[in-house]
Structure 1
Amino acid sequence: MTNTNISVQINGEPFNCSEPISLHFLLSYLDLSSERVAIELNNSLLPASLLSSTYLSDQDKLEIITIVGGG
């Protein structure tokens, strides 16, 4: 059985995982709510409806922007 090591950048920081994971799983792992973030994947804004079906690939670049309400 072969391990697939995936190296990505999240907000400029390295992140490694041993198998492909969905962006929905990643947000859960990072304890972030998918309703309160915007995600840019490889310089393209990703619709929230695609978080469960989009998987990380080696060398992907993610920017996760947390939306904070205030008054």
Structure 2
Amino acid sequence: MINKNISIQINGEPFNCSEPLSLQFLLNYLDFNSERVAIELNDILLPSPLFHSTYLNDKDKLEIITIVGGG
């Protein structure tokens, strides 16, 4: 199996990995609580049930928005 480097953008910053990652794995790796974020992948808002089954591809653009409660 040939490893292909994957380069994505997360909130405008480059992020590289050596294999396809699920969105949920990436959120865990970056220490985000998946219940407190909104995710936009290539300008499409993703529902949280899709985080486990969505894999990131080369040149994807990911926006992670943290939801903060307050009053």
With structure 1 as the length reference, what TM-score do the two structures score? 0.97
Structure 2: 5+ residue stretches without partners: none
Structure 1: 5+ residue stretches without partners: none
After superposition, the C-alpha distances for 1:23-71 in whole angstroms (9 at most, x for unaligned) are 0000000000110000000000001010000000000000000001111
Cα distance between partner residues in 1 of 2:23 and 2:33 = 11
Q: CA deviation at 1:2?
A: 1.6
Q: Pairwise CA RMSD of aligned residues? A: 0.6
Overall identity of the aligned pairs, in %: 77
- Give the residue type in structure 2 aligned to 1:22: S
Cα distance between partner residues in 2 of 1:23 and 1:3 = 19
The number of equivalent residue pairs is 71
Aligned residue for 1:12? 12
Aligned residue for 2:21? 21
Cα distance between partner residues in 1 of 2:24 and 2:52 = 5
| Structure 1 moving runs of 4+ over 4 Å | none
- Give the residue type in structure 1 aligned to 2:40: E
